[in-house]
Amino acid sequence: MLKRPFVRSAALAAPLLAALLLAGCASTEGIAPTAQLTRPQQLGLQPVQTAFPKTDWWADFHDPELDRLIATALADNPSLQVAQARLEQARAQVQGAGSALKPKLGAAVSSTRQRFSNNYIYGPYGSNWYYDNSALLQGSWELDFFGKNRQTLQAAIGEAHAAAAQEQAARVLLASNVAGAYVNLARLIAIQNVLQQTLQQREHMLKLVQDRVRAGLETTVQEKQALAEVPQIRLQLDQTAVQITQARNLLAALTGQGPQATATLAPQLSALPTMNLPDTLPASLIGRRADIVAARWQVEAALHGVKAARAAFYPDVNLTAFAGFSALGFSQWLTGGSQTLGVGPALTLPIFEGGALRAQLRGKSAQADAAIAQYNGTLVDAVHEVADAIAARQSIGQQIAQQQQALDAAQDALRLVDQRYKAGLSNYLTVLTVQSSVLKLQQAGVDLKAQALADDVALIRALGGGYNAPKMPEQVPAKSS
């Protein structure tokens, strides 16, 4: 009585032991990823505390119209919807990979009319036609002794984390693009205001010159010079109007709307404040940049893919079972005497596969090396992007101060020259020269103010745009061997 379980256990264990011994026929030797992750400290990132942008950083502009535009973009932009669909696809793949770890159960009913061979079924059934009927519940469970399915699941989870981070990266990029386009529209409208003021000045000066010509105090040469200035300013106004329309159309496209939705937008550049942002390169940047987080999860997924490919060298062990009814003919098919059931292991072992498994492992290892290189490149690019944005912000304040000093001096000079011209102590060419200088400095002031705001947006985006990774893999991945 005690020998029978032992015999059965030995019968089950023997094929598994033989499979393990034969697994040595297919070797994984010499195939593994070789690339290494770059550490933040290697790029000068320091473990310092810093204030990162908040999630709704654009609210610090205190502009309800900008708030509305970004909210609309985050809800309706097609590019963001593509990223969201990819995230759902990745989550579905996690569910699919997880199903391989669970038992399967199905039903099968068949009825086949066939002629049985004398050498297959003896007695009265041989050489005769019968219906071979069966109705079975069939179950199977891959025991995953060597972790292939578990590693495949972990790879899918890594890809899902990467897709989630990529979706967040798309949100950050979209919000910053909307804010940047909004600032550019405000810049163009401010330029338009400067040109309109300049046009009024030139038209006033033209009238003054014409009055002096009629009084015999100026020649027609000065009048023609004054006449030439007015259409030049009007041309610049027309060109600026086209640029304003294009900027509004860009905002409409970014927010997933038609051009009419932004046709009357007129943000005021002077009403948009600059922000208080950090000027350091913190090591915590790697958890704040969604693109870095996505690249890191792709490394994790690739390394689990290597482990799954290595596990494929070992046997698949399935536990199968069935229960139901099986009979020849219909009269006794669903009776107690036709009951049948069975249970047992099934092993599948690759022995000679023409190098396919080694090729697959080599490909997965190369994929992991590529993912690590991609991560390293993303980290380097992010650090340089932050450094450039910080440098730009540190410089723009000094440029604005110098421009304002130059503009104040030019406006003082214009008042003096204008007074001297009206008193007949200066000619029109001098007035025109100083006016042109004031116009250029006013436009430069608008451009610098807009550049300061654009630099703020660029630094916010470089710092991650308020993103904070809910979960990150270890910085140094475990060996895939």
pLDDT of residue 286: 78
φ, ψ for residue 433 (rounded to 5)?
-60, -45
**465 dihedral zone (left: phi>0; alpha: psi -120 to 50; beta):** left
What is the pLDDT tens value at each position of the chain, 481 positions in all? 434 444 444 455 555 555 555 544 567 788 888 889 888 778 877 676 677 888 999 999 999 999 999 999 999 899 899 999 999 999 999 999 999 999 999 999 999 998 888 887 777 777 788 889 999 999 999 999 999 999 999 999 999 999 999 999 999 999 999 999 999 999 999 999 999 988 988 888 888 888 878 877 777 887 887 788 889 999 999 999 999 999 999 999 999 999 999 999 999 999 999 888 877 777 778 788 899 999 999 999 999 999 999 999 999 999 999 999 999 888 888 898 899 999 999 888 888 887 899 999 999 999 999 999 999 999 999 999 999 998 988 889 889 999 999 999 999 999 998 898 788 888 777 888 888 889 899 999 999 999 999 999 999 999 899 888 887 776 544 444 4
**Pairing relationship of beta strands 129-142 and 104-115 according to DSSP bridges:** antiparallel
Q: Quick one: CA dihedral 150, 154, 156, 157, positive or negative?
A: positive
pLDDT of residue 52: 80
Residues 6+ apart with CB under 8 A from 338: 325, 326, 327, 332
Inter-residue contact 445 to 407 (CB < 8 Å): yes
Block residue for tokens 């309109």: 196
Report residue 294 as tokens.
Answer: 């996505």
Q: Which amino acid is at 183?
A: V
Residue 1 burial by Cβ neighbours in a 10 Å radius (0-12, 13-18, 19+)? exposed
pLDDT of residue 207: 86
Q: HEC states along the chain?
A: CCHHHHHHHHHHHHHHHHHHHHHHHCCCCCCCCCCCCCCHHHHCCECCCCCCCCCCHHHHHCCHHHHHHHHHHHHHCHHHHHHHHHHHHHHHHHHHHHHCCCCEEEEEEEEEEEECCCCCCCHHHCCCEEEEEEEEEEEEEECCCCCHHHHHHHHHHHHHHHHHHHHHHHHHHHHHHHHHHHHHHHHHHHHHHHHHHHHHHHHHHHHHHHHHHHCCCCCHHHHHHHHHHHHHHHHHHHHHHHHHHHHHHHHHHHCCCCHHHHCCCCCCHHHCCCCCCCCCCEHHHHHCCHHHHHHHHHHHHHHHHHHHHHHCCCCEEEEEEEEEEEEECCCCCCCHHHEEEEEEEEEECCCCCCCHHHHHHHHHHHHHHHHHHHHHHHHHHHHHHHHHHHHHHHHHHHHHHHHHHHHHHHHHHHHHHHHHHHCCCCCHHHHHHHHHHHHHHHHHHHHHHHHHHHHHHHHHHHCCCCCCCCCCCCCCCCCCC
pLDDT of residue 352: 80
**Ordered structural domains, the chain, with CATH:** 31-101+147-314+356-462 (1.20.1600.10), 102-143+317-348 (2.20.200.10)
